[in-house]
Amino acid sequence: MTAMLGGLFSVYMERALGKNVGDNEKMWKDEEKLLEAAKYMINEFNGRIMLPKDYCMNNGFGFVCAPVAELNKGKVIDIGPDTILKYMETLGSAKNASVLINGATGFYEAAASISEPGMRGAAHVYSEAFDEKHGHIVMGFGGDSAAVFNRLGFKPHISSSSGKAFFKRI
């Protein structure tokens, strides 16, 4: 089992690893409880949690992509291009895996079309997950996942609109 993280959850993990996440900390409530849980997961699933190599961020002047070391220089919007490639490679090299998706990679809400930067992360990563040649069983949880699947034209094998509650049980 490998967990490929993105979004705010990956930022929790980065912070739990002691990285400076800058103003991204302002998005959290009950930080100590979250950090304890993140540290536990890092230790419990050592080596099976993939974190982004880079992020796309809004630095106050526009969107930039930067390595994790520069996470403190903007508000995280999405995984970066190096991470997209790594996640695609991981999904492409696995066969007959169960792929659980909660939320959506990609800043898709702001994209008018699937070719815009916000959708590219989702489109590329999910194209590997849904590619029939890999034989993956794809499960999507929550409204955000359903929204991006619909925009991309992908149909998961199993889906649930109550993503957070159901995904936590899994």
Residue 169: band (very low, low, confident or very high) from pLDDT cuts 50, 70, 90: low
SS3 88: helix
Of residues 108 and 129, more confidence is placed in 129
The set of residues, in sequence order, having a beta carbon less than 8 Å from that of 149 and lying 6+ positions away, is: 126, 140, 155, 156, 159
Task: Indicate if the pLDDT at residue 118 is higher than 70.
Answer: no
- Give the pairing of strands 137-141 and 158-160: parallel
Q: pLDDT at position 20, please?
A: 92
Q: What is the pLDDT of residue 7?
A: 78
Q: What are phi and psi of 101, to 5 degrees?
A: -120, 120
Rounded percentage of the chain residues whose pLDDT exceeds 70: 81
Would the pLDDT of 170 be above 60? no
pLDDT of residue 3: 83
- pLDDT in the model for residue 8: 78
Residues linked to residue 141 through DSSP beta bridges, in sequence order: 102, 160
Place 72 in a pLDDT band, splitting at 50, 70 and 90.
Answer: very high
Instruction: Give the residue-averaged pLDDT of 99-112.
Output: 68
Mean pLDDT of 77-92: 87
pLDDT digits (tens, 9 = 90+) for 136-150: 988 887 777 787 788
What's the CA gap between 23 and 77, in Å, rounded?
13
